[in-house]
Amino acid sequence: MAVTTFAAIDIGSYEVSMKIFEMSKRIGFREINDVRYQLELGRGTYAAGRLEMETVDELCEILNDFKRMMAEFGVESWRACATSSLRELENPVIILEQIYQRTGIRVEILSNAEQHFLGYKSIAAIESGFKKAIQKGTAILDIGGGNLQISLFDKDALVLTQSIRMGSLRIRERLKELEKTTPHYDRLIEEFIRNDLISFQRLYLKDKEISNLILMGDFLTDTIFQDRSGENIITKEEFLKKYETIVNMSDHDLAESMELEPEYASLIVPNMVIIRNFIEIFQAEALWIPGVSLLDGIAYDYAEKNKYLKSVHNFENDILVASRNIAKRYSSGKNHIAGTTDVALDIFDSTRKIHGMGKRERLLLQIAVLLHDCGKYISMSEVAECSYRIIMATEIIGLSTEERQVIASAVRYNTREFGCYKEINRETSMNRGNYLLTAKLTAILRLANAMDRSHYQKVKALNVTLKDRILYLVVDSARDVSLELGLLKDKKEFLSIPEKSIYLSFASSNVKLPSLCTLCLDMKPGILS
């Protein structure tokens, strides 16, 4: 059976690491090599938003070493990802181009949401333990050098994910001068992060009960807890005992006892303070440390997409649940969303031959429907613009920044005039492919939203067929849909298809209406095609 060799590369805040995996449909995927180099990229990024050329030189040397190793192992595919260490640069494009020109490796900068989603997949790869853990209220902490990611689960559903600028390297760099003046460094850190902790607790926990705490990290996390039990479980009492020992040791002593470089050792206390505070916030009785990292999530994602394995967990549903919670937060109309979603998906599924979109685009459409009215929470008169800004300001787990841009733009142009490419590109830097995708999703969203203009969910069933040059929408409704049909005329120009005359036909079971009402749409440059 064919075996593929794959490499995952993570350019983090304080280390550059690579794992090499073998993959097949028989074995799924398994790790065959693990290598890491210390390089504190985050030090320059978090302090000044830039990297010294010497640091870039060192990074390129490491990546060229990785390329040689990949050649030795016969690596066929790889994925190189960077997190906040490059994401927060003032101008990362120049650095990315330098890396590519000098190494031949294209580095992808992950958004917070993408990073956490891949990390979350790494835990889900341990299917038995993960499935068991999330049956009760569960929190996942992913402590990086720059940021802290928090996810909350309730009965197998992801209900919340948040990113806080509370990484161990970021904390160390901000407090390194003050550390010299205090005998209680741990208390100083706690005071520094306290406001963010209180805000998180007030805004997001409320009445949520968290029974399990999963700690995800990197080799540093594994090093701290290297003496854990076989099941990777640390009780609260065991953690607090270890905490008291660690915070009373110097960096030098920590480095010696854990066989670490001093620079790594200086990150341990910030890590421990963050964990202790969240144990108290969640009232957790134990920590599960599965021993996985972002690299495992990258490999899992590749294996899943290339059908080397099939996950028992529905990750797409996690994205939808997270989006529904955002809609709920902004008091979006539940019934209107449900009705509009049904219509939008019927149109999408029935017109695949026209638009050529796939499963991922269908998911983006669902999210656009879920969030298209969230701006009403801020302004009734500027719904489209406020909805756009809410979506762009909100990390949605599993979605890239570009995908959020597409969704936000489709929502914006649901009720606003859709501009030409140059106009929209000037404002959003959207490429042509995403511009066309936005146009297609906007067309479907406009039509679906118009068919529930009254918010009464009059459409009980919808049959959509394309025959010859005629698009028939047969609507089953026991109520008067005059408002929907009348206002639908406002959408006609946006739905035209090149070189085809398109007709929308509506049949209604309401006796007050004609059995068939036909609207002819003008011929325009195509949207759906």
Tokens of 424: 């929209």
- Bridge partners of residue 233, in order along the sequence: 288
Q: φ and ψ at 259, to 5 degrees?
A: 55, 55
Provide the 3-class DSSP secondary structure of residue 45: helix
Least confident of 9-23, 124-138, 260-274: 124-138
Read off the pLDDT band of 107 (50, 70, 90). very high
Q: Which two tokens stand for residue 266?
A: 């200086």
**Two structure tokens written together for 472:** 């028939």
The answer to whether residues 349 and 462 touch, using CB atoms and an 8 Å cutoff, is no
Cα separation, 374 vs 20, in Å, equals 43
CB 80 within 8 A of CB 70: no
Contact 75, 100 (CB under 8 A): no
Query: For the residues 419-433, what does the mean pLDDT come to?
Result: 87
- Per the CB < 8 A criterion, the answer to whether 325 and 160 are in contact is yes
Read off φ and ψ for residue 152, nearest 5 degrees.
-120, 135
Place of tokens 């009705």: 339
User: Residue 54 burial (CB < 10 Å; 0-12/13-18/19+)?
Assistant: exposed
Least confident segment among 222-226, 237-241, 357-361, 481-485: 481-485
Model pLDDT, residue 485: 64
- Per-residue pLDDT, averaged over 100-124, amounts to 88
The CATH number of 315-521 is which of 1.10.3210.10, 3.40.50.300, 3.40.1190.20, 1.10.3720.10? 1.10.3210.10
- List strands edge to edge, sheet with 517-521: 461-467, 470-476, 502-506, 517-521
User: Taking the CB of residue 509, how many other CB atoms lie within 10 A of it?
Assistant: 13
Report which of 378, 271, 397 is spatially closest to residue 325, judged by C-alpha positions.
Answer: 397
Q: How far apart are CA 115 and CA 13, in angstroms?
A: 13
Cβ atoms of 233 and 288 within 8 Å: the answer is yes
Q: Do domains 126-291 and 315-521 have the same CATH topology?
A: no
Instruction: Specify the pLDDT at position 502.
Output: 38
| Tokens of residue 126, six digits | 């341990």
Q: What would be the CATH architecture of the domain defined by 126-291?
A: 2-Layer Sandwich (3.30)
Q: Is the pLDDT of residue 140 over 70?
A: yes
Instruction: Return phi, psi of residue 51, to 5°.
Output: -115, 140
The full set of domain ranges for the chain reads 4-110, 126-291, 315-521
Q: Write down the pLDDT at residue 503.
A: 43
State the pLDDT confidence band at 433, using cuts at 50, 70 and 90: very high
Candidate ranges 27-36, 283-292, 313-322; pick with highest mean pLDDT: 27-36
Lowest average pLDDT, out of 281-285, 322-326, 473-477, goes to 473-477
Task: Give the global pTM.
Answer: 0.80
Which residues, listed in sequence order, are joined to residue 215 by a DSSP beta bridge? Answer: 141
Query: Is it the case that residue 447 has pLDDT exceeding 80?
Result: yes
Residue 246: pLDDT over 60: yes
Tally of CB atoms within 10 A around 184 = 11
Contact by Cβ (8 Å): 258, 267: no
Q: Would you give the distance in Å from CA 191 to the centre of its chain? A: 30
Instruction: Give the model's pLDDT for residue 515.
Output: 32
Pairing state between β 157-164 and 148-154: antiparallel
Topology (CATH) of 4-110: Nucleotidyltransferase; domain 5 (3.30.420)
Using N-to-C axis directions, what is the helix angle for 421-428 and 432-450, rounded to 10°?
100
d(CA 414, CA 383) in angstroms, rounded, equals 10
Other CB atoms within 10 A of residue 168 CB: 29
CA dihedral 211, 215, 216, 219 (to 10 degrees): -160
Is the distance from CB of 160 to CB of 116 less than 8 angstroms?
A: no
